[in-house]
Structure 1
């Protein structure tokens, strides 16, 4: 993960990943706003909210963003659908610009959305179906890179389309009138309503979407507009007077303004918030609490519920390269399931406050997830069973190469000592970012046996858990099937589950795929990580939902 985009992608860091200029999140009541909309205001008592971030730059261009629906970009850019998060229930898909979450037809290969009437951009011009289509078309342009690609591979003709800047348009997005969008997909896809909550589905006026300038001169559709931006210093959001709270179920629009304080030292900010200093009372830290300050906050009675820890979230796992000569035998891979010491791994990560032990691939907080455990129920593992399986497989003297990034050494040593109990020798090879990319995500997989990583889905769907990590189309070329797992039967099962429109039927199929994959042991689930955040005493409605394990920026308010 990079701090600039902070998405689900990236290797597992030994220190907390920065929730910098927006991204993952989850939480809060997410209730329907009840403001009149006449002055653009919402709930929450006004005031000025500060969000401290370690990132030094921000982009407000939805075409290049991988932000989740409830973080930074969601403050300025609405989408067709949105998320309602809850601390005690799976995240719910709700309408945003649209009147519903999409109507499938043609067995799920065609999806229709109808916009609410009267929606406006910050300048008072109407939000129409054409502006949503143009926003999506911009995401295909070669000048704009880095955004999510789900819609690009699903829309008919998408793989041959290069964006609207040369006057070409994508015929598979129809706009029969100002309020109607019809999407024609190249196959049935049950989760298209979730895909419509991703950043590229934000509307963009055609006369303001220049690739060179839009990132810092966006036209807002959400409760806030960008007032000023200074890289390395701050970004100031102020009220969008043309946002109507009565049309928005996802956002409360509480503070009068929101300032992102950029390039901050997380330890220094955490100390200030712990002390509840005047300049931190109306603020929160958008990165995980550093370890030293986390211990301090836990032991300070004045902090109390201003330290907020999520439930179990992103999956941290050990990928086993199934193309490696040493790991092609499934019995050897299963032996590693028993040899790994998850207890030592979690202890290194910080103990119970840092995560729960993982046994499944679909992460908590996602509807349809089923609990199961195929291997040892003991967190410390079962090295005797591992040894027995290795002996039966004729692999008693096994030496494996574990490649890591520079900041993963401690986590890797926990894996190393666990496997050593079963007679497996692990050599740890740190790589810089470029070497890691060329060898692991973009390489041919010939030089490594094991990889430590983590995964945060883009949307709360089993599809977003399993397809990127285990579909054979996601091997190499910068993709994230790090186990290089290639099973035609699993590919077919993934295709069938993703094509199923009925949610209950789809959930049952995804649960079966989860176990089908893990029976072949391409990865060892380690923990579902927990994240801890700090906020000042004047911050309210700072709640973390079941998915994802981050605060919902869109519903935070102030008591000032």
Structure 2
């Protein structure tokens, strides 16, 4: 899931700015008092829309989709702890068999939709089948090739075809027959497409405007660019749901808000804005205002870590096909300057990164294959280039990045650092659609470098490594922007994915982390921190080690 330039993947869920304040990582009720059930919460978003169709959504478990839709599994998130998998609609987190090619789940008793009808196993199957239909694309798709190799299945609406790899022998049992062993299937079952949709429903493209819901809330009103209003689902049973506090009586998301207006409203902290949470705010100038206001500063909640910001090196283009040349970039980059360009200083931006697997992922190993100063070592970079036959450095490289979220400024910091080592780069800042088309769809064919960031979709190293470095992810909308094509790495990825034991799998992912960095496909920069501003009556803003986003499921009003 892309972040920074990758925020499109959770549009309307979370967009944050890196800041570290005295408030700390979690501050449930800075104004004193405790969170109690009742009242109306307000979420302020600069996004024009909120996606409530699970097939089209890329929302993380902890963000807004979980208000209205449950999934087979969920996450337990807590400060200072690794995130773990827990049941949601299912009685457990899945039972693997056939060496991990078959997974079986059983639904809990007394599960009902917002219209009062029972939730059945066939509805989970139907919801997944919908996700294969072209009109309902755009959501997370980890499940698709595992259930339909080559994506031969095209959905249930053309001739009413069923997906035979999903079996529902009775109303409570659902069995997945995967194309290959896959140890993370229970994590994949927490992604949006595993939310049930009543069989036969949801054929209309705007189903997400008024879906039939399984979570504690239902959509009362949705108006693109203006407002989404959620009210309680009277048929949701708290006894079947251990992950959602469902504190407020209503949740109103105000859409299409200007980021400067959001920031000012929350700083001023008056009226309904006392019960509001800023899903997005942007500029360093606004952050300076927050830091200068003691009340606002006390209401800024910050993550321990976050997405990996990194520089991709096109391993299939020009001199960058030589690993020795690519290794020079590990020393040429000034990560300290990148921190300053990101948020003013190192503490605000996030810690310097040296691994691909991000903090908060169980089994992660901290290492540094290219130890150097935060400012880099341009002389070492020049030495490596000379040893690779480039005593005069490199010229004519093109660096692509987004023209938003201060990425042009961060790209300029990269450009200046590389120049010290004799590497001359031209920056090409692109709007989001052009970036997606030119970089991800075409596979970086016209660029030497890209600057971007990545937050995994699930708390597994699988989601750190596979989407960015498997050869199948080059072009066609994939995120392998380094065009890294290594048959041995592909084999190790498949082997790690097939490993059922989490500890054994973690060791294999660490091996891949070291292998890919040994090939210098990318330069890790920082693990970006995320911060969120909220009103004085808004409580339970909690951020765990993963993900670096507030857990919406726990929100409530301080009474």
User: TM-score range with shorter-chain normalisation?
Assistant: over 0.9
Counterpart-to-counterpart distance in 1, 2:545 and 2:175 = 32
Cα distance in 2, alignment partners of residues 540 and 451 from structure 1: 39
User: 1:310 touches 1:545 (CA, 8 Å); kept in 2?
Assistant: yes
Instruction: Out of 150-159 and 137-146, give the one that drifted further.
Output: 150-159
- SS, match of residue 281 in structure 1: helix
Q: What residue is the counterpart of 2:468 in the other structure?
A: 469
| 1:90 corresponding residue in structure 2 | 82
Aligned residues: 538
**Closer, same or farther in 2 for the Cα pair 1:158/1:139, shift >3 Å?**
farther
Query: SS in structure 1 opposite 2:507?
Result: helix
Specify which of 395, 398, 409 is matched with residue 394 of structure 2.
Answer: 398
8 Å contact kept, 1:29–1:85: no
Separation of aligned partners in 2, 1:524 and 1:192: 30
Q: 1:178-198: CA deviations, max 9, x gaps?
A: 110100000000000010000
Query: Alpha carbons of 1:329 and 1:367: their partners in 2 closer, same or farther (altered >3 Å)?
Result: same
1:245-279 superposed Cα distances (whole Å, 9 cap, x missing partner): 11111100000000011111121121121122122
Identify if the C-alpha distance between structure 1 residues 156 and 442 changes in structure 2 by more than 3 Å, giving closer, same or farther: closer
Query: Cα distance 1:45–1:542, how it changes in 2: closer, same or farther (>3 A)?
Result: same
Q: Would the aligned equivalents of 2:90 and 2:108 in 1 still touch at CA under 8 Å?
A: yes
Root-mean-square deviation (Å): 2.0
Identify the residue that residue 363 of structure 1 maps to in structure 2: 358
418-427 vs 249-258, greater mean Cα deviation? 418-427
1:416-435 to 2 correspondence within 5 Å?
Answer: 416-435=415-434
Question: Are the equivalent residues in 2 in contact too, given 1:124–1:242 (CA < 8 A)?
Answer: yes
2:145 corresponds, among 149, 153, 161, to 153
SS at match of 2:376: coil
Offset, 1:381: 0.6
SS in 2 for 1:516: helix
For 2:410, the equivalent position in structure 1 comes to 411
Tell me the CA shift for residue 370 of structure 1.
0.6
In structure 1, how many angstroms separate the alpha carbons of the residues matched to 2:464 and 2:44? Answer: 30
Q: Distance in 2 between matches of 1:271 and 1:95?
A: 40
1:29–1:84 Cα contact (<8 Å) kept? no
The residue matched to 2:426 in structure 1 has which SS?
strand
Aligned equivalents of 1:146, 1:477: Cα separation in 2: 13
* Partners of 1:548 and 1:305 in 2: CA distance: 22
Question: In the alignment, is the contact (CA less than 8 A) between 2:10 and 2:57 conserved in 1?
Answer: no
CA distance in 1, matches of 2:534, 2:364: 31
| 1:346-385 correspondence to structure 2 within 5 Å | 346-350=339-343, 351=345, 352-385=347-380
The answer to whether the Cα contact below 8 Å between 2:12 and 2:49 also exists between their aligned partners in 1 is yes
In 2, Cα distance between the equivalents of 1:526 and 1:87? 24
Gaps spanning 5+ residues in structure 1: where?
Answer: 1-7, 31-42
* Change beyond 3 A, Cα 1:418–1:163: same
Query: Given the alignment, which residue of 176, 179, 182 partners 1:186?
Result: 179
Q: Aligned partners of 2:149, 2:8: CA distance in 1, in Å? A: 36
**Deviation of 1:207 (Å):** 3.9
1:459-484 Cα distance to aligned partner (Å, 9 max, x none)? 11100110011111111111110000
Query: What's 1:105 paired with?
Result: 97
Q: Secondary structure at the match of 1:63?
A: coil
Instruction: Kindly indicate whether the alpha-carbon contact (under 8 Å) linking 1:538 and 1:559 is maintained by their aligned counterparts in 2.
Output: yes
Contact 2:400 2:449 in 1 (8 A): yes
TM-score by length of 1: 0.93
Superposed counterparts of 1:50-129, under 5 Å: 50-129=42-121
Give 4+ residue runs of structure 1 displaced > 4 Å after superposition: 16-20, 27-30
User: Pairwise mapping of residues 27-66 of structure 1 onto structure 2 (< 5 A)?
Assistant: 44-66=36-58
The partner residue of 1:332 within 322, 325, 335 is 325
Distance in 2, matches of 1:17 and 1:106, equals 37
Cα 1:124–1:169 change in 2 (3 A) is: same
Change (3 A) 1:70 1:29: farther
CA distance in 2, matches of 1:313, 1:544: 11
Matched, 1:267 2:260: yes
* Contact 1:140/1:161 (8 A) holds in 2: yes
Show CA shifts across 1:1-59 (max 9, x none).
Answer: xxxxxxx226638xx9897522589x9899xxxxxxxxxxxx83211000011112222
Say whether 1:200 aligns with 2:193. Answer: yes
| Distance in 1 separating the partners of 2:383 and 2:10 | 43
Asked if 1:138 corresponds to 2:126, the answer is: no
Question: Could you give the per-residue CA deviations for residues 434-487 of structure 1, whole angstroms, max 9, x where no partner exists?
Answer: 443343212254421111011111111100110011111111111110000011
Distance 1:517 1:340 in 2: 18
Question: What CA distance in whole angstroms lies between the structure 2 residues aligned with 1:29 and 1:223?
Answer: 24
